[in-house]
Structure 1
Amino acid sequence: MKHSSNLLFSLLLIAVAGCQSKSPPPAEAPAMPVPEVETADATTRKIIDYREYTGRTAAVNSVEIRARVSGYLLQSPRSADSDRVQPAEPAKTDATSSSLIPEVNVNEGELVKQGDLLFMIDPQPYELALQQSKGSLEAAEARLKQANKDLSRSDALLDRNATSAAEYDQAVAAVAELRGQIENLRATVARNQLDLDYTRVRSPIDGLLGRTLVTSGNLVAADTTILTTVVSVDPIYVDFNVDEQSVLDYRKRMLEGEVKDARQTSIPIRLGLANEDGFPHEGSINFVNNITDPSSGNTLVRGTFNNDTGILSPGLFARIQAPFTSEYEAVLVPTKAIGMDQQGRFVMVVGDGNKVQRRSIKMGDIVDDMTVIREGVKPGETVVTSGLQKIRPGSEVRLQGAKS
């Protein structure tokens, strides 16, 4: 009896275990929600394609200031009143003497005007030479006056046969010789006056004064010693190199009538400095070199820019933006709508039934936050701008803000 009870209990346990081992039927997977994306319509705008280059600013005029006469330097832009050298003994022989030495009133690094006094060389030796030549001229003029009187008397005596022809000829020759001497002395006076003027070294142009290379008290040599430099600052040049492919592209478009020849018309360009956003300065091309550098394949191009604010100075790094097309109607989409995969650049275009398709594109210039699309998108088509990672070609999307 006890054995049968145990058997019955075992059978009940096996039945219960069998019931528990049966698994419930699998539940159906929930449907994936339609992804929501942001979109924008492709628009059109009249634009000009630009290309960017790098260059350096340069002065329109740059002059090395040299001494044109030799002598000891009395004043310079660097010399203070207490350091200025005075001549040992001012010349006071006549009214033409420059015993009052003019003052140099400009400093290094300042803007100067044409004619401003920059340096003063000791004028005394040149004043003395000028006075000596003037004295010789006055003496020669006095001798000429007497010779003319002698010639007049000889002429009267010759009419009365009271003198010989030889004596008359000598009187004529004396007058001619003195006239030649006077012309020579007048040239000497002019030269000495010029040398005296050259002791006052003046700026030949308007511009920015550079560092003083020779200070007061030093001996300077004529046409040899460089005293300083002056560079013009308004307007200012910018030199930049254009690569060979760009030159060829531009010439092709020029032959097709799309763009104008930079050598025959003014082509506007824009400039930005290293610390500036965009290209705030406007100028124009005024020179294209006649050769291409065979070592680099670049062609030198020069632009000119107004610089009335003085923000530009020679030697600065500059970014240049030059036009490469005439104005045309372009298709643009937001730059953030453009994706990149192994096949290249693409956008996702929303079509019928809110299904997207992949479009390979050919990009143009970037204008603000928009990108020019040369091929692949038509005006008015809708492209996905956000959520590209959530969609695949052919999948359905829900436009942001649309009702479910």
Structure 2
Amino acid sequence: MTRHPLVHLAHAATFALTLAVLAACGSQAQEHGNIAPAQVSIAPVVSRDIATSDEFTGRIAAVETVELRPRVGGYIERVNYEEGQEVKKGQVLFTLDARTYQAEFDRAQAELSRARSRAALAASELARAQKMADVRAISTEEFEQRRAATSQAASDVSAAEAGVAVARLNLEFTQVRAPIDGLAGRALVTTGNLASPDATVLTTLVSLNPVHVYFEGDEQTYLRHNQQARDDGRGASRDARNPVRVGLSSEQGYPHVGVLDFMDNQVDPGTGTIRARAVLDNSDRLFTPGLFARVQLIGSEPESALLIDDKAVLTDQDRKYVYVLGADKTAVRKDVTLGRMVDGLRVVESGLAAGDQVVVSGVQKIFFPGMPLDAKPQAPGLAAAVASSP
């Protein structure tokens, strides 16, 4: 069978292209020995015990939040605090016009004095009536009337004392005090405005130390954590104050440590999540209610793991790999299987060994495996801090 001339030309072109590629590869291999070493920084693989954990998003919330309202009505006479500043429990924040309540208090005291005078007179008359009754100088009916008058006078004194107590409270309530230690908001009602009792919100107060962090976890995570707690012999999160770590949006990792102190009593059937709460110390006033927070909940006992700087990881289609410094000071490619992030470093599940020197910076200068390297140790930084942390 005779082939068409075009077929012969196609085969000849393919053969020539193959020879050209092989020649280029051979030329590149010859040039590797003369190429200048790539200047890179290396860092050792960090070996550290870490615990499995899950990450959530949450919000900082005050333990106590108060909408401050007056217990009596009146016009605001003074605002006695600086808006946005911390206040102490019992500090006077607002003063209402107290003249009406002062007059009512004075009237109640006068009524109490009058009632006590009447009670003293009734007691004196009862004593005289008792002496007269002993010698039968007055009738039994008149004696009983004197006794009843004395009892009535004593009741009038008690009523007047209660009236004085109410008037005193109303007078005291004209000074609106902070019910908690905390941070005061802006004054919503200022001098000269009318405040209605138990209705007008004067300002808001939030406590600052400690603070809560609320977050929600899905049903599978909730079940897994309970199983891990049983396997490790720890109490479940509902029963034990398990540790949590928290980081703000401006921070790396989870530098703040708290404890879980509340787990809701049911999973929300609409979202499939359950709400949890952690408590954090806020002595340094770093946390403000309403801030976004990242929460890490520890799930199991610590296990040994290898960690590297995430900047060292390269991608080749669906594979992840890193370059390490070989024994002959050349770049050795190693494919790796990666895990989660821990304190800014990436967990390596397979592909590396403790002691490997991983290229962290300058990887863009490595054009092929086997390229000579001029490697210098990376300045102590995050990896060293993580390796030395407890």
SS of 2:172 mapped into structure 1: helix
Q: Which structure: greater helix fraction?
A: 2
Bigger shift: 334-343 or 295-304?
Answer: 334-343
Pick from 266, 290, 308: which aligns with 2:283? 308
Deviation (angstroms), 1:129: 1.1
SS of 1:233 mapped into structure 2: coil
Quote the residue 2:50 is aligned against: 47
CA contact (8 A) 2:232 2:300 kept: no
Quote the residue 1:215 is aligned against: 190
Summarize the Cα distance change of 1:342–1:258 in structure 2 as closer, same or farther, 3 Å threshold. farther
Q: Residues 123-202 of structure 1 correspond to what in structure 2 (within 5 A)?
A: 123-202=98-177
Deviation sequence 1:325-369 (CA, Å, 0-9, x none): 221122445646656556655679999xx9x897673x3333457
Aligned residue pairs total 342
Deviation sequence 1:36-72 (CA, Å, 0-9, x none): 9999886642112333221111111111110101112
Summarize the Cα distance change of 1:337–1:69 in structure 2 as closer, same or farther, 3 Å threshold. closer
Bigger shift: 305-314 or 255-264?
Answer: 255-264
Structure 2, gaps ≥5 residues long:
1-18, 376-390
Q: CA RMSD in A?
A: 3.5
Cα distance in 1 between the residues matched to 2:311 and 2:293: 29
Cα distance in 1 between the residues matched to 2:284 and 2:245: 16
Q: Is residue 60 from structure 1 mapped to residue 63 from structure 2 by the alignment?
A: yes
Deviation (angstroms), 1:169: 0.6
Cα distance in 2 between the residues matched to 1:314 and 1:43: 36
Pick from 282, 296, 299: which aligns with 2:271? 296
- Kindly provide the amino acid, as one letter, of the partner of residue 78 in structure 2: Q
Q: Residues 17-166 of structure 1 correspond to what in structure 2 (within 5 A)?
A: 29=23, 30=26, 32=29, 44-76=47-79, 104=80, 106-166=81-141
CA contact (8 A) 2:229 2:299 kept: no
Q: Residues 352-363 of structure 1 correspond to what in structure 2 (within 5 A)?
A: 361=337, 363=338
SS of 2:202 mapped into structure 1: strand
Summarize the Cα distance change of 1:399–1:332 in structure 2 as closer, same or farther, 3 Å threshold. farther
Deviation (angstroms), 1:244: 2.5
Deviation sequence 1:117-155 (CA, Å, 0-9, x none): 111111111111111111111111111111111111111
Please say which structure displays the higher CA radius of gyration. 1
Deviation sequence 1:302-347 (CA, Å, 0-9, x none): 1222222223211111222222222112244564665655665567
Bigger shift: 335-344 or 213-222?
Answer: 335-344
SS of 1:325 mapped into structure 2: coil
Q: TM-score, normalised by structure 2?
A: 0.75
Structure 1, gaps ≥5 residues long:
1-25, 77-103, 392-396
SS of 2:232 mapped into structure 1: coil
- Kindly provide the amino acid, as one letter, of the partner of residue 71 in structure 1: G
Cα distance in 2 between the residues matched to 1:204 and 1:369: 43
- Kindly provide the amino acid, as one letter, of the partner of residue 390 in structure 1: F
Deviation (angstroms), 1:205: 0.9
Cα distance in 1 between the residues matched to 2:45 and 2:372: 16
Deviation sequence 1:161-187 (CA, Å, 0-9, x none): 111110111011111111111111111
CA contact (8 A) 1:74 1:216 kept: yes
